[in-house]
């Protein structure tokens, strides 16, 4: 394996011109220099203990700020003594995400197990977050924040908007003028406004139109807003996938005795959804990042919780480390999702993902 790798590198080097070789060497030298400087700043001269005086005298990064404030950054305003609850709930949800990515569960039997697992995982998550049962102290959703809020907003936003987006995409391609017009109007209307305005309307304007005595929490209004907003973009993504499938596929399905609905479910949609994996992951990453906009409606996601931690003036000169810490969480989470999507795309294109499509 190593011999083959070095052989390919040697061949690539020999195929380059003199100018390309010089540029490669210069780029490699710059990368090594930058990594060395980063090591000196982030490791060699850094302070990892939550010691303010040591940080002031250090020549490198003050990771002590993260060591001091990590619970606020990750869990926001959730009661300090109860922060094990959002931690446990998030672990359960992330564990289900990992299990859902395992091919062994991509059979019909495995799919049923996943549905039951997701129902149990979401029940555990919301029981732990809400409290008021099993001796847990009640916690208002206004006090939810940090990483658990970011994860659950992304999860519900993508899970609920995907089927709605598929219906809108099919509606936009419908032969019925009314359905086609309504679907197109919804998609274009929602795509014509920024998410921040939709969140503002959901949080502050919509409650004004509710009957007196009707109460809804900001959390669920924001969830609905994200789902409805993301569904319009998902619809266009799915429509692009549907257009990549030849019309002959539907004709072939109908010639086999399938109805148009069966043709879409068993023939067209599996091919279309396989074609939009990169675009779907892009929407997933976009939703994951856009959750930071909920701070405009007084909800504290991961970045919002960081701003709470930055309220301590004593650590003001080391706030940059906090942004690096949160940015690293976003970066590595996005990197994992992107790497998995590339693997899934290769698996499906290689003809080994049929079971995934049937699920």
Residue 209 has pLDDT above 90, yes or no: no
> What topology is assigned to 155-330 in CATH?
MetI-like fold (1.10.3720)
**pLDDT score, position 167:** 92
**pLDDT score, position 249:** 82
Rg for the chain, CA atoms, rounded: 25
pLDDT single digits (tens) 303-317: 889 888 888 888 888
Task: Find, among 288, 276, 284, the residue nearest to 345 by Cα.
Answer: 276
**Domain ranges in the chain?**
155-330
**pLDDT score, position 8:** 61
pLDDT single digits (tens) 31-60: 999 999 889 888 888 888 888 888 888 888
Candidate from 222-226, 286-290, 350-354 with smallest mean pLDDT: 350-354
Residue 355 has pLDDT above 50, yes or no: no
Residue 232 has pLDDT above 90, yes or no: yes
Concatenating the DSSP letter of every residue in 7-41 gives HHHHHHHHTS-HHHHHHHHHHHHHHHHHHHHHHII
% of residues, the chain, pLDDT over 70: 92
Candidate from 14-18, 19-23, 225-229, 276-280 with smallest mean pLDDT: 14-18
Query: CA–CA distance from 83 to each of 40, 196, 197, 207, 266 (Å)?
Result: 34, 29, 31, 30, 45
**pLDDT score, position 9:** 55
Instruction: Give the mean pLDDT of 261-287.
Output: 84
pLDDT single digits (tens) 92-139: 999 999 998 888 888 878 888 899 999 999 999 999 999 988 889 999
The reported pTM is 0.86
Taking the C-alpha atoms of residue 286 and residue 284, their distance in angstroms, rounded to an integer, is 5
pLDDT classification of 359: cutoffs 50, 70, 90: very low
Taking the C-alpha atoms of residue 160 and residue 283, their distance in angstroms, rounded to an integer, is 13
Residue 11 has pLDDT above 60, yes or no: yes
> For residue 206, what are the contacts with CB-CB under 8 A and spacing of at least 6?
221
> For residue 201, what are the contacts with CB-CB under 8 A and spacing of at least 6?
225
pLDDT single digits (tens) 61-75: 889 899 999 999 999
Instruction: Please indicate whether residue 56 or residue 348 has the higher confidence score (pLDDT).
Output: 56
Q: Tell me how many helices (H) and strands (E) the chain has.
A: 17, 0
3-class SS of residue 245: coil
For the chain, what is the mean pLDDT?
A: 86
pLDDT single digits (tens) 219-231: 999 999 999 999 9
Residue 148 has pLDDT above 90, yes or no: yes
**pLDDT score, position 181:** 94
**pLDDT score, position 357:** 41
Kindly report the CA angle at 280 between 219 and 186, in degrees rounded to 5? 60
Instruction: Please indicate whether residue 262 or residue 169 has the higher confidence score (pLDDT).
Output: 169
């Amino acid at each position: 394996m190593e011999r083959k790798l070095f052989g390919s590198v040697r061949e690539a080097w020999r195929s380059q011109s003199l100018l390309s070789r010089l540029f490669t060497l210069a780029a490699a030298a710059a990368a090594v220099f930058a990594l060395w400087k980063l090591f000196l700043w982030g490791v060699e001269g850094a302070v990892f203990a939550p010691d303010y005086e040591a940080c002031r005298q250090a020549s490198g990064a003050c990771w002590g700020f993260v060591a001091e404030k990590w619970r606020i950054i990750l869990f926001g305003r959730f009661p300090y003594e109860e922060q094990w609850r959002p931690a446990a709930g998030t672990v359960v949800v992330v564990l289900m995400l990992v299990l859902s990515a395992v091919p062994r569960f991509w059979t019909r039997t495995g799919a049923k197990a996943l549905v039951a697992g997701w129902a149990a995982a979401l029940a555990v998550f919301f029981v732990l977050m809400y409290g008021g049962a099993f001796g847990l102290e009640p916690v208002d959703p206004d006090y939810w924040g940090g990483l658990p809020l970011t994860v659950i907003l992304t999860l519900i936003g993508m899970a609920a908007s995907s089927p709605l987006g598929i219906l809108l995409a099919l509606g936009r391609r419908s032969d019925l003028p009314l359905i086609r017009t309504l679907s197109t109007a919804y998609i274009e209307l929602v795509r014509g406004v920024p998410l921040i305005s939709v969140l503002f309307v959901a949080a502050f304007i919509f409650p004004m139109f509710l009957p007196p005595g009707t109460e809804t929490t900001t959390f669920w209004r924001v969830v609905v807003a994200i789902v409805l907003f993301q569904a319009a973009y998902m619809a266009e993504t799915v429509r692009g996938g549907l257009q990549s499938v030849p019309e002959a596929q539907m004709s072939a399905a109908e010639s086999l005795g399938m109805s148009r609905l069966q043709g879409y479910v068993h023939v067209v949609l599996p091919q279309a959804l396989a074609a939009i994996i990169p675009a779907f992951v892009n929407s997933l990453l976009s939703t994951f990042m856009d959750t930071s906009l909920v701070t405009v409606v007084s909800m504290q996601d991961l970045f919002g919780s960081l701003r709470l931690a930055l309220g301590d003036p004593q650590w003001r000169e080391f706030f940059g480390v906090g942004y690096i810490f949160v940015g690293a969480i976003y970066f590595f989470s996005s990197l994992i999702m992107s790497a998995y999507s590339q693997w899934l795309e290769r698996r499906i294109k290689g003809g080994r993902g049929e079971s995934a499509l049937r699920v």
